[in-house]
Amino acid sequence: MNAKPNLILLLTLALPAVQVGAGSFESALRLADQWKASGQFQRAEREYDLLLQRRDLTASEHRLVLSRRAVLLIETERLDEAEALARRIYEADLRDHGTFSSETASALSLLGVAITRQQRLEEALNHLEQASRIARSLLGPRHLETARINVNLASGYALHGDLRQAERTLVECEEVMSAALGPHHWEVAVVSHDLGYLYLRQGRLDMAESEFLHALTAWRRLLGENSPNFVRTANLLIHVQFSNRRFAPAQLLLTRTLPLAAGLFGPDHPETARALLNQARLDSALGRPVQSAAAVRRAVWILARRVPEARDELLNSIALYRSLLRTSGDKPGVQRLDRWSRRIRRAGLQLNHSTFSSWPCAVEPGEAVRTDGGQFQQQPPGPLRQ
């Protein structure tokens, strides 16, 4: 299972913050952050915009709000806006300080995250490594702000395929953050999630499950289940539990996660597709081939419109669909999927959503899709979210 989007989306939450004093500004900023963490993105954006209209903010406070807003843009996939805003913050920091500072390192880390989401990995890693070097030089290697910046650096390593270096970086970050913030802080939960992802990628399923359970417990306590972070971690935990053939806890968690994913992210979002793939695996294991095929077809349809960033997940979904068709004896369907898999691999990152305008096994937005872990519900037709 390819979990790259989960990794980046969570890591953007761990961006460094400058120190602010107590009072109305801090309270208002905390409120906006809480709206964002709970998936209420429009309300969070309104709160950030109201803060930016205030005339009593210092330059550092103003850039801090801009940084939070840039994270929101990343999470809502407005990536061009996010990169432009992150670059503006970095340049303003550099101009105001006249040289590199810890705030400049934070801004550079944010810029690296924004660029990572646009698949410009070499450029992003350069920014992330430079931010880490600045922070280590100015603050020390085990400072909390350095750890926050290094959490983002780990995403760059992981996306470049250097899982060992990403793991070493995250283990050090977890130690520093746990000591500074406590083991149940939400930033520690971010690191636990991403360590779980790395262990999953390496096939270390017991360690992955332990990290995901720690993160999920924190999300449930801090944010409740109706939050994006809970759904992201739950999707990966369910996958691990399926791999370990622990169907009962996986089914129980999936019953809650699938409707949450559709409600929080929308019916056409990759996170909803991941929940649908988990549903397809469960239905297949329980001998329900028709329901399994419907769920995986819907997931394929969603992911096909999120290439190139969802390319690997799309190929994994096609492989699952292929196995279902082979089991049902649909030889022409298997052959069609084989042709499309070869086409996708040849195209690489040159894919775009128009490639799939004649997708041979896709479903339309109105096809019946299971969204509650049990019954099938009709998805209303609507425009695609590109």
CATH code at 369?
Answer: 1.25.40.10
What span, in angstroms and rounded, lies between the C-alpha atoms of 213 and 191?
Answer: 12
Report which residue type is found at 201: R
For 385, residues 6+ apart whose C-beta sits below 8 A from its C-beta are 266, 268, 269
Whether 175 is covered by a domain: the verdict is no
Expressed as residue numbers, the domain containing 270 is: 250-386
- What pTM does this model have? 0.78
Which of 108-117, 147-156, 163-172, 357-366 is predicted least confidently? Answer: 357-366
Per-residue model confidence as pLDDT tens digits over 12-33:
444 444 344 445 888 889 889 8
**Is position 309 within any domain?**
yes
Which residue's entry shows tokens 């390819």? 2
- The backbone torsions φ and ψ at residue 368, rounded to the nearest 5 degrees and listed phi first, read -60, 130
In the predicted model, is pLDDT for residue 45 greater than 90? yes
Residue 307 in any domain: the answer is: yes
DSSP assignment of 131-181, as one string? HHHHHHHHH-TT-HHHHHHHHHHHHHHHHTT-HHHHHHHHHHHHHHHHHHH
Determine, yes or no, domain membership for 103: no
Give how many domains the chain has, as a whole number: 1
- The string of pLDDT tens digits covering residues 1-12 is 444 444 433 444
Q: Can you say whether residue 22 is alpha, beta or left, with left for phi > 0 and alpha for psi between -120 and 50 degrees?
A: beta
Task: Assess if residue 108 is contained within a domain.
Answer: no
Q: Is residue 154 part of a domain?
A: no
